[in-house]
Amino acid sequence: MFIKNQRTIKNKVSCFGIGLHSGGFVNMSLLPAPIDNGISFRRISTNKSVIGEIKAEYDLVSTTFLGTSLTSRDGKMKIATVEHLMAALWGCGIDNMIVEVDSDELPIMDGSSDHFVFMIESAGIVEQNAGRRFIEVLRKVDISEEGAHASISPNNDFSVQMDIAFNDQIINKQSCSFFANTNSFKIELSKARTFGFLKDVEHLKQRGLIKGGSLDNAIVIGENKVLNNNGLRYQDEFVRHKVLDSIGDLYLCGARIMGHFHGVKSGHTLNNKLLHKLLCDKSAWRMVQYNDHALAS
């Protein structure tokens, strides 16, 4: 069932962590935002002065390799690795939020959305006096690239089907279905962590990436085994994290989607390209808003 009104948080809440790729220390705060603000990222300096803001919008996505990054329209400001927080905001039903951060990258925390969900719940959630907006998918849109596929189809709510396949006996092939009207994001998806292979670590670090990566914020797969001491949180944690990623990426459309997303080996790049294809085709969707207990164009 749809929540009628837009929502934000009641109180400011803050955390401290490490940037996955930069390896630097990051202070981040979540702040309440007014009606129709959407999600925005406010970059501040170490002395708390405001450098600028970036809206969480799909057409500001500039990098999708090992994470989704946004760059301001003037090219002067960047916020990296936004997908796990965006997924948590979707999962907690947050429409309006200001994310204040003193780095070019959000903190990775434990590599999932779990800490962000905890922050949002700790801050408290409040309804606002305005109807929530939805992007209603009117016809199927799909895209394929290098053996991967992604599509979005009409649906009376939001749902995800994700299929992955890796040439690795630990992951192999996995599938996961998530239905917004029956499944709990917090229980089913929020704890699923990002993952990678030990054999790729040195190469990625040479490229200036994953400087802050560790067994504390990612599942690391060695030769036919998971290296993390406590193993997996879900038997199919890998595909659940891919579902989490897709939800975060799709929430960059600026509203909640009424549609069914199906990804086959899909990642950040294809997720964003699908949004571009959908939203550039005005015949494939319409914006609707909850007014007087009914959806209206």
How many Cβ atoms sit within 10 Å of the Cβ of residue 129? Answer: 7
Is-catalytic flag, 268?
yes
Backbone angles phi, psi at 112, to 5 degrees: -125, -165
Which one is catalytic: 21, 84, 115, 268?
Answer: 268
SS (H, E, C) the chain: CCCCEEEEECCCEEEEEEECCCCCEEEEEEEECCCCCCEEEEEECCCCCEEEEEECCHHHEEECCCCCEEECCCCCCEEECCHHHHHHHHHCCCCCEEEEECCCECECCCCCCHHHHHHHHHHCEEEEEEECEEEEECCCEEEEECCEEEEEECCCCEEEEEEEECCCCCCCEEEEEEECCCCCHHHHCCCCCCEEEHHHHHHHHHCCCCCCCCCCCCEEECCCCECCCCCCCCCCHHHHHHHHHHHHHHHHHCCEEEEEEEEECCCHHHHHHHHHHHHCCCCCEEEEEEECCEEEC
d(CA 14, CA 30): 6
Which residue, 193, 177, 176, is CA-closest to 231? 193
Residues with catalytic annotation? 268
